[in-house]
Structure formats: structure tokens, C-alpha cells
Amino acid sequence: MIRFVIPAFNERENIGPLMADLAPRADALGARIIFVDDGSTDGTYEAIQEHRDGLHLAVVRHAVNLGLGTAINSGLRAALGEAHDDDAIVMLEADNTSDLDDLPRMMALYAEGYDMVLASVYAPGGRIIGVAPWRLAASKSVSNTFRLIGGLREIHTLSSLYRVYRAGTLRRAAETYGWLLVREPGFAANVELLLKLYNAGATVAEVPTVNDWSRRRGASKMHLKPTIAAYGRLVAAHLVGRIQPPPMSPLRNPEPVLSLTAQVQDRVESRSSPL
């Protein structure tokens, strides 16, 4: 089953157009929709309720705004609470800028076995429309920095929200990192999560996408200063090894723990044999 997870903060005006596009597709796919309303004060929650008829939809609500990273964490954990390991969790923007026509190609790669499939504006064939040149340059340099230091050279966009995740991979990651899985409270959480999963051996593919910001009503919620500080923290965390999973962890290698237990048990059993 597919579960759409959609973090939303003050997106009332975008919920109608988003649901007009998403609802028939979710219905046809028999998919679940989980919104995270992150302390919106503009009636986002009520707008979601207006469009829930006939859909398998839930809303996780934060009483106050806790930031995109925290909302991603809440949404993923809500989805993992219901998902089987092979289920897909599809994260979408609430501002109607994630192009749902890309989804079949993303799901085809997922079906081939990739643990994460990213919608990529910087991959050949991808594009962003309607973004200020300085923001585009800043965003590209974030992706390029982490491509270089993180070893993900073949991936072009590292900060995208629009992605497919394999539930089992995320579950082992959540068991490994606990509540530190998504430590960054803001927009840098997308890069953090990608690096953590990639370092632990998750396979990653991308599909070029066109992100048309003219489809969105209202302004971007990204604040520049805290986001730059967060990327600085991430670089530091990467350099000191805090992004890496510990050597014995459910994410890095689920087997050795089990076989170690089995060996110890073997020994205990052979010692207690009546020879």
C-alpha cells in the first residue's frame, strides 16, 4: 500500500488545488493520506477536513509550529505505525508543487528495488520554474556540497522533499537512530535523512522533475538564516561521523546481532550436553 505523507504549515489556499489533483489518484491507488498540520493558524486543518470525503485520510496535528523536520519525523512515524516493510511512503509538498505525473516513474524504480526514489529538479531533464536566481544558486550549492562530501555524486538533488521511501528501510533507521533520526527541525532534515539512509546502504535513484512554483499560492516557508546554520551543523555532523550508523545496528547490518546470539546459544547448548 502507498501512504502519502504531507507536511503542511499554513497552506490553506493550496489544499484545494492539491486535493483536486491528489484525491482521484489516491482513490485509484487505494492509498492512505497522512497530513501533518504543523501548528497552522490559517485554517489549513479545516481545509483538509473539507476535502477528506471518501478518502482514507488522517491528520497528525502539532499544537504549535515545530518546523518541517519535526513534521517529517511525526509523519514518517505515523506512517510506519501502519506500514508493512515493503510499503511505499511518498512524501509530498502541501503547496501543490510536487508533480504527481512523476509518480508512476518513481514507483517503477521503487518496484525495481530502490529503497529511496527522489524527484530531482537538478537531474538532466529537471527544472525549477519561478524561483529567484539567488535562491536557485544557493539551493544548488547545498546539493553539490553534500554530493561531494557525502559520496552521492550520481544524485543531483539532495534537498528534495518529494520522495518515495521504503518503509522497512525507514523502520530500521528509526530503530537505529531513535528520535535522533531526524534531528534537524527545519528544511535541512531532508538532506540529513538522505545521508543517514545512504550511509547505511540504502539504494537511491532519482527521477527528473519540473517544479513549477507558479502553481503555489503564498510564499515559501523557508527561512534563510536558520537553514544555512542547519546545513553548517550537518556538514560538521558528517565530518565527525555522527551521520554514520553505529557498526552494530539494525540499519547497518541486522544479521550479525542475530547470528551472534545464535552462536552463543549453540555454545551454551553444546556445554550443557550430557557428554
Ligand X SMILES: Nc1nc2c(ncn2[C@@H]2O[C@H](COP(=O)(O)OP(=O)(O)O)[C@@H](O)[C@H]2O)c(=O)[nH]1
Q: Does 139 bind Mg ion (CB under 5 A)?
A: no
Q: Which stretch binds ligand X (CB under 6 A): 20-28, 93-101, 148-156, 163-171?
A: 93-101
Name the residue nearer to Mg ion (CB basis): 95 or 206.
Answer: 95
Task: State the minimum distance, in angstroms, from the CB of residue 246 to ligand X.
Answer: 29
> With CB cut-offs between 5 and 8 Å by kind, which of ligand X, Mg ion, none does residue 7 bind?
ligand X
What cell does 255 get?
544479521
221 touching ligand X, by CB under 6 A: yes
Among 87, 93, 102, 184, binds ligand X (CB under 6 A): 93
Task: State the Cα–Cα distance between residues 155 and 220, nearest whole angstrom.
Answer: 24
- Looking at 5, 22, 34, 71, which residue binds ligand X (CB under 6 A)? 71
Q: What are phi and psi of 57, to 5 degrees?
A: -125, 140
Applying CB under 6 A, among 5, 8, 100, 103 the residue interacting with ligand X is 8
Q: Which residues pair with 57 in a beta bridge?
A: 33
The C-alpha cell at 216 is 503555489
**Cα distances (Å, whole numbers) of residue 232 to 27, 63, 198, 238:** 41, 29, 19, 10
Q: What are phi and psi of 245, to 5 degrees?
A: -75, 150
Residues 166-195 that bind Mg ion (CB under 5 A): none
By the rule CB under 6 A, 163 interacts with ligand X: no
d(CA 154, CA 152): 6
Q: Which does 174 bind (CB under 5 to 8 A by kind): Mg ion, ligand X, none?
A: none
From candidates 34, 38, 90, 152, binder to ligand X by CB under 6 A: 38
Compute the C-alpha angle 93/94/100, nearest 5°: 60
Which amino acid, residue 76? L
Name which of 65 and 144 has its Cβ closer to ligand X: 65
Q: Which among ligand X, Mg ion, none contacts residue 18 (Cβ within 5 to 8 A by kind)?
A: none
CA angle (31, 36, 38) in 5-degree steps: 165
Q: Closer to Mg ion at the Cβ: 37 or 95?
A: 95
Q: Which does 222 bind (CB under 5 to 8 A by kind): ligand X, Mg ion, none?
A: ligand X
- Of residues 95 and 114, the one with the C-beta less far from ligand X: 95
For Mg ion, what does the binding mask look like between residues 71 and 100, x meaning CB under 5 A? ----------------------x-x-x---
d(CA 195, CA 198): 5
Of 121 and 200, which has the nearer Cβ to ligand X?
A: 121
> DSSP string covering 38-105, please?
ES-SSSHHHHHHHT-TTSEEEEEEESS---HHHHHHHHHHHHHTT--TT-EEEE--TTS-S-GGGHHH
Kindly state the smallest distance separating residue 202's Cβ from Mg ion, in Å: 24
For ligand X, which is the closer residue by CB, 26 or 94? Answer: 94
- Residues 157 and 166 sit within 8 Å (Cβ to Cβ): no
- Contacts with ligand X, residue ranges (CB under 6 A): 7-9, 11, 36, 38, 65, 67-68, 71, 93-95, 161, 220-222
